[in-house]
C-alpha cells in the first residue's frame, strides 16, 4: 500500500462642516490674496510659486497617510522550528553552491520529538549545479539516510519550494531534477508515513550551517559547532 503524505474621529463645527477643512480653505484663500498685487491680479511667477507650495503640501499629506497605513499592516511573523510527533523523525535539508569553486555541498540533520539530534551529514558535491538541483540532491540524501537508519515515519523539511512541490509531481519528466525526484518517490514508498514541508529559511538555519561549515564530507550524531 502506498503511504499517504500526510477608523479617524473628526471634530466638526456648526452646520456639519469639517472645521479643519474650513481652516485649510481660509489658509489657501489668504495665500492666494497675498500672492495678488494691488491690482488684484496674481503675477505668473507668484502664481507658479503658490501652486508649487500647494502641490507640495498635498503630496506631504499623501505621504503621511501612506506611512500611517503601512505602519498598520501586520508584518509576517517569523516561523520557528517545531518538533515532530512522538513517533516521527524530522529531517531538515539544505544545499549550497559555489560557482567560484565549481562545487557545493548538501547537508541535513535529523531530530526527534524532543529536538535532539539523531544524526547529521555533510556531503561535498562536484560540478557547477543549479541551486535547485543541489537542493534536490540534499533531499534525496536526507531520505536515504532515514531509510538506512530504519526509521518508519518521517517529516522532511526544506526551504526550497521548487523541490518540496517537485517531489510529488509525477508529470514532471523533463526537468533536470526529474530523475532525482523519481528516486525520492521510490524511496518514500518504503516508509510507513512521510510528510514533505516547505519552511522559511529561519527554520532551516541548522541544516544550512551544516551544508556550509566546511568543504569536506563529514557526519556525526552530536553537532560539531
pLDDT in tens, 29-84: 444 444 444 445 555 545 555 455 555 554 455 445 544 554 554 555 778 999 99
- Integer Cα distance of 34 and 73 in angstroms: 42
pLDDT digits (tens, 9 = 90+) for 127-177: 889 999 999 999 999 999 999 999 999 999 999 999 999 999 999 999 999
- Integer Cα distance of 170 and 189 in angstroms: 14
Q: Which three cell numbers stand for residue 144?
A: 536515504
- Which residues neighbour 119 within 8 Å (Cβ) at sequence distance 6 or greater? 109, 110, 145, 149, 219, 220, 221
Q: Which three cell numbers stand for residue 184?
A: 525520492
Q: Which three cell numbers stand for residue 108?
A: 541535513
Could you tell me how many helices (H) and strands (E) the chain has, helices first? 6, 6
- Tell me the pTM: 0.67
Amino acid at each position: 500500500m502506498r503511504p499517504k503524505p500526510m477608523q479617524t474621529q473628526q471634530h466638526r463645527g456648526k452646520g456639519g462642516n469639517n472645521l479643519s477643512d474650513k481652516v485649510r480653505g481660509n489658509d489657501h484663500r489668504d495665500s492666494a490674496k497675498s500672492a495678488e498685487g494691488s491690482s488684484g491680479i496674481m503675477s505668473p511667477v507668484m502664481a507658479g510659486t503658490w501652486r508649487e507650495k500647494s502641490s507640495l503640501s498635498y503630496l506631504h499629506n499623501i505621504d503621511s497617510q501612506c506611512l500611517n497605513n503601512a505602519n498598520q499592516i501586520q508584518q509576517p511573523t517569523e516561523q520557528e522550528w517545531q518538533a515532530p510527533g512522538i513517533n516521527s523523525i524530522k529531517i531538515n535539508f539544505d544545499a549550497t553552491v559555489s560557482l567560484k569553486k565549481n562545487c557545493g555541498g548538501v547537508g541535513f540533520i535529523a531530530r526527534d520529538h524532543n529536538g535532539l539530534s539523531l544524526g547529521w551529514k555533510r556531503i561535498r558535491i562536484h560540478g557547477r549545479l543549479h541551486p535547485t538541483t543541489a537542493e534536490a540532491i540534499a533531499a534525496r540524501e536526507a531520505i536515504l539516510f532515514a531509510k538506512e537508519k530504519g526509521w518508519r515515519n518521517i517529516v522532511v523539511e526544506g526551504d526550497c519550494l521548487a523541490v518540496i512541490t517537485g517531489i510529488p509531481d509525477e508529470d514532471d519528466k523533463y526537468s533536470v531534477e526529474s530523475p532525482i525526484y523519481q528516486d525520492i518517490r521510490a524511496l518514500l514508498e518504503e516508509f510507513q508515513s512521510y510528510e514533505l514541508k516547505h519552511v522559511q529559511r529561519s527554520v532551516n538555519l541548522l541544516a544550512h550551517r551544516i551544508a556550509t561549515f566546511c568543504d569536506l564530507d563529514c557526519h556525526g550524531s552530536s553537532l560539531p559547532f
